[in-house]
Structure 1
Amino acid sequence: MIPPGSTDPVTNLEWAVSEGLTPYPAALEAMQARVAAIRAGEAPECVWLLEHPPSYTAGTSAKPEELVERRFPAYAAGRGGQWTYHGPGQRTAYVMLDLARPHGRVPARDIRAYVHALEEWMIRALDRFNIRGERREGRVGIWVARRAPGGGLREDKIGAIGVRVTRWVSWHGIALNLEPDLSHFSGIVPCGIREHGVTSLHDLGVLASMEELDSALMAAWAEVFQ
């Protein structure tokens, strides 16, 4: 179940935070139930913040050969995208909104604008830690340009996006790397991209807590979706 959270009195958006690790199948079941309730007008929209046990999840475009090593349980996610890793130290945010109506910068029934807004949300949250997150043409997610060990620049992914929309209600969402074990990503080709790596706030030297990251996400949300 999605735990009870605090509801914004202006937007009627609920922020739910789960303690500990939520198994991926349980999260799928809880999201499906919440999406049905939102569609029926029986529950408010919700952003659910949680962490998963180490898991690999496959989007609808995932290729079997890009599960390089089955180090952890692998699940069919039903969202868009390819392979993604979830695990402790990564803040996953599942966003369940009625996209049949507008949300801040997102016009009604505009999925492209919605995905762009999720990217902007992560970019603005990272900016609060003086990390410059960037989009890249042809690549899903948020990227950080940094110095490579041998000189020059390299680009590493810090945030992933995968969404699904059912009768105009969104689910799934984003995964932002605070301090996951980055070696766990080696079991997959993350999002089908072989030539770039992954990073996290802690890997970049920003030793923020999960609570501080949550606060940044909540503050940035208001700038994008309200």
Structure 2
Amino acid sequence: MTRNDICEEILWKKSDGLTPYPDALDFMATRSRQIHDGTADPVVWLVEHPPVFTAGTSAKQQDLYNPHHYPTYEAGRGGQWTYHGPGQRLAYVLLNLSQPNGTIPPRDLRAFVKGLETWIIETLSRLGVTAFTREGRIGVWSFDPLTGEEAKIAALGIRVSRWVSWHGVSINLDPALDDFDGIVPCGIREFGVTSLRRFNPALSMEELDRALAASWPAHFGSIPREE
């Protein structure tokens, strides 16, 4: 896709501070209905949350340990248990999937998930981190520079209501990695988690956000327009 093929803008909304998780659920539920009804535009919303564990539709109770007694929420998205907390960038992607979005054909959930994965991988490449997906594993992975082992650096979880997407992706910039010990992340016991700070201690959230915006158009066909 060339720049000449990109003719639309998408609202790029960023919230400072820590957004309570229930507030995010309320916003996404309302906005997804409005997008379906044609009364609001699609949006990518960048947030951070206080420490929480969220359960996807496949979450198993035995995979939750929660030694710090963080709040837990039913997210309504696909997937299993996920941790969110300060230092982790959430990008909630609310798109009308009934129409094409860049390289994503209409109503093609597989292509949409692949688009999210390649968006993350390109974003991390811009930051000097090689990342990849693995067959049979959810999320985006890299080789942890401290252990040399494969570890998850980003997670995906989506919900689609009347062909409008909500939820999205999370990328570990510098969260408290020990907090992931409170769950079996995405039901995968064999591998750990890592963060961008292990690759580059000086990397900022602003740099990550710029990389996300710069990588978006080639995959989703619209140019980010900050609110």
TM-score by length of 2: 0.92
1:49 aligns with 2:46: yes
Contact 2:145–2:199 (8 Å) recurs in 1? no
Shift of 1:17: 0.2
The 2-side partners of 1:85 and 1:66 are apart by 12
Q: Which of 11, 23, 29 is the matching residue for 1:14?
A: 11
Aligned to 1:118: 116
1:193 and 2:188 equivalent?
Answer: yes
Q: Do the aligned partners of 2:144 and 2:194 also contact (CA within 8 Å) in 1?
A: no
In the aligned structure 2, how far is the partner of 1:197 from the partner of 1:46? 31
Alpha-carbon distance between aligned partners in 2 of 1:108 and 1:186, rounded to the nearest angstrom: 38
Contact 1:162 / 1:172 at 8 angstroms: preserved in 2? yes
- What is the rounded CA distance, in whole Å, between the counterparts of 2:99 and 2:13 in structure 1? 22
Shift of 1:223: 1.4
Q: What is the CA RMSD across the aligned residues, in angstroms? A: 1.3
Post-superposition offset of 1:147: 5.5
Aligned equivalents of 2:203, 2:104: Cα separation in 1: 29
**Where is the strand percentage greater, Structure 1 or Structure 2?**
1
What is the letter of the counterpart of residue 114 of structure 2? H
Cα distance, 1:136 vs. partner? 0.4
Query: Any conservation in 2 of the 1:121–1:217 contact (CA below 8 Å)?
Result: yes
Residue of 173, 178, 181 corresponding to 1:183: 178
Q: Residues 82 and 74 from structure 1, CA distance in 2 versus in 1: closer, same or farther, beyond 3 angstroms?
A: same
Q: Alpha-carbon deviation of 1:13?
A: 1.2
| Structure 1: tracts of 5 or more residues without a match | 1-8
Distance apart, 1:10 and its partner CA: 4.0
Structure possessing the higher relative contact order (Cα contacts under 8 Å, 6 or more residues apart): 2
Counterparts of residues 1-226 of structure 1 (less than 5 Å) = 10-71=7-68, 72-146=70-144, 149=147, 153-226=148-221
Partners of 1:80 and 1:162 within 8 A in 2: yes
Query: How far off its partner does 1:70 sit?
Result: 4.7
Structure 1 residue identity aligned to 2:94: M
**Is the CA contact 2:158–2:167 (under 8 Å) kept in the aligned structure 1?**
yes
Indicate conservation of the 8 Å contact 1:164/1:172, yes or no.
Answer: yes
CA-to-aligned-CA distance 1:2-60 (integer Å, 9 cap, x gap)? xxxxxxx9424111000000011110000011001111111110000000000000000
- Give the Cα separation in 1 of the matches to 2:202 and 2:196: 7
What is the one-letter code of the residue matched to 1:78? G
- Check conservation: 2:146, 2:198, Cα contact below 8 A: no
Contact 2:79 2:157 in 1 (8 A): yes
User: What are the ranges of 5 or more consecutive residues in structure 2 without an aligned counterpart?
Assistant: 1-5, 222-227
The offset of 1:171, in angstroms, is: 0.2
- Rounded to whole Å, the distance in 2 between the matches of 1:210 and 1:140 is 24
Mean CA deviation greater in 133-142 or 62-71:
62-71
Given that residues 145 and 198 in structure 2 are in contact (C-alpha distance below 8 angstroms), is that contact kept between their aligned partners in structure 1?
no
Q: Shift of the alpha carbon at 1:207?
A: 2.4
In the TM superposition, residue 206 of structure 1 has moved relative to its aligned partner by 4.6
Identical aligned residues as a percent: 54
Query: For 1:51 and 1:135, how far apart are their aligned partners in 2?
Result: 24
